Amino acid sequence: MFLSSNNFILLVFREKETSPDLSAETGARVILGNPCQLEGNLASMESSGSHQPETTATNLNADPLAITQHYTILNDLHPELSSLQELALRGSWRSILDKVSRARSLSLLRYPHDHLLYLSFNVLALTKLRRFSDALEDIDSLENLDSPSYCYESYPHLYPNRSGSMVPFSLRWLHAQLPSKLGKRQETLDRLYLLLVRVKSQFMIKSKSSNSLDVSVSVWKRREEFVIGTIISHHLSQKEFGVCLALIRDMISGDANNPTLLSKLGYAQMQFGDLEGAKASFDKVRELVHVNGSGAELLSEVGMKNLVSRNKALIYMVGKDYVSAVREYEECIERDGLDVVAINNKAICLMYLRDLSDSIKVLENALERVPTVAVNETLVVNLIGLLVLLPMILMPPALEFKDASLLEWYLVATVYLVDCC
């Protein structure tokens, strides 16, 4: 979620952006580098592909997709998927396209779920490269995502005693999100609301099932929050604040002591000018974190402290107390050098303080120091905007460029000099 200020983007909350959850809809546990990271979950399979899953129920544990199997490595679902995950974490999207193309051409994808997993990576990579038409075309090459062809029951010899859809959650999310990238916002909203209905249904089923593991219930709960967060972002972009508040309050009604949800409520309230309401929401977050210690299961201790500090900084920014806001963001960065929200917003505060040079340095240093975290669209767009703005401010007042090409040369040369300093 973000706030737009003129041509610069102020981050207020950033969902983790590694790679979407590619686990299918059986609720199976996929443990990756960070088991709490919903959007970063991918899945893969361990053997070379020559192993055939056992077809007898007594050998169910031999099936790498068995519901009783707890995955500890990515290759429990498909060979080389861990390497795709590593490429995604590094942002090597073209390498992912090459790897998927190679796997397809060499017929390395032997099971139905293999094709869906690799397709998900391919669509994700195309989306990250802003090839939205190609990404949507790739998804449209499939049948209806709810087709029986993508259900485990259709392949009893491969997936004994399994039922449900094998379509990765991330593929459904990308299928819903992509039309908006091509100007079809209403189609995206329609698909997102349908996805939300599906996720809520699965969450209710898992919650009522006596055989469900707690991790399965929590996964579907996080997916529900993720989809609602996406919907809220679309409504916020169109200043549809009433809908946003209704959605957030609906989430909070089921989890009243969630500091992250309360912070999102404060962000939405700030968007339409309810500053007192935002302060009240942020005060509730501070009380929950510092007094009751709530949220420990959602964020680390450092993460909770940074959440409170970032909320305070936003209030300072609204009051145009940019010096105090910078101080809060610096404390966040000292506690967690990977806090890209604090890094981005500190740079924006410095810009408002007319310290463009230091503002640019903050973003450039982040890109050099933690590129896998800092290379995100918001931060890069802001850096480009600052680099374009700086030479305009430094341009001598008496200097007039009647030739557009000469002006372009001046801007490029000045940016080059700034880059070399």
Query: Alpha-carbon distance 268 to 285, whole Å?
Result: 15
| pLDDT of 271 above 60 | yes
Reply yes or no on whether the pLDDT at 179 is more than 80. yes
pLDDT at 186 over 60: yes
The secondary structure of the chain, three-state, reads CEEEECCEEEECCCCCCCCCCCCCCCCCCECCCCCCCCCCCCCCCCCCCCCCCCCCHHHHHHCCCCCCCCECCHHHCCCCHHHHHHHHHHCCHHHHHHHHHHHHHCCCCCCHHHHHHHHHHHHHHHHHCCCHHHHHHHHHCCCCCCCHHHEHHHCCCCCCCCCCECCCHHHHHHHHHHHHHCCCHHHHHHHHHHHHHHHHHHHHHHHHCCCCCHHHHHHHHHHHHHHHHHHHHHHHHCCCHHHHHHHHHHHHHHCCCCHHHHHHHHHHHHHCCCHHHHHHHHHHHHHHHHHHCCCCCCCCHHHHHHHHHHHHHHHHHHCCCHHHHHHHHHHHHHHCCCCHHHHHHHHHHHHHCCCHHHHHHHHHHHHHHCHHHHCCHHHHHHHHHHHHHHHHHHCCCCCCCCCHHHHHHHHHHHHHHHHHC
The pLDDT value recorded for residue 413 is: 44
* Banded model confidence at residue 44, pLDDT cuts 50, 70, 90: very low
Q: What pLDDT sits at residue 72?
A: 46
The residue-averaged pLDDT of 133-146 equals: 91
User: What pLDDT shows up at residue 196?
Assistant: 95
pLDDT tens digits along 155-177:
888 888 888 888 999 999 999 99
Tell me the pLDDT band of 216, cut-offs 50, 70 and 90: confident
pLDDT at 184: 95
- pLDDT score recorded for residue 176: 96
**Range of lowest pLDDT (172-176, 306-310, 410-414):** 410-414
Res. 133: pLDDT tops 90: yes
- So what's the pLDDT on residue 28? 32
Average pLDDT over the chain reads: 77
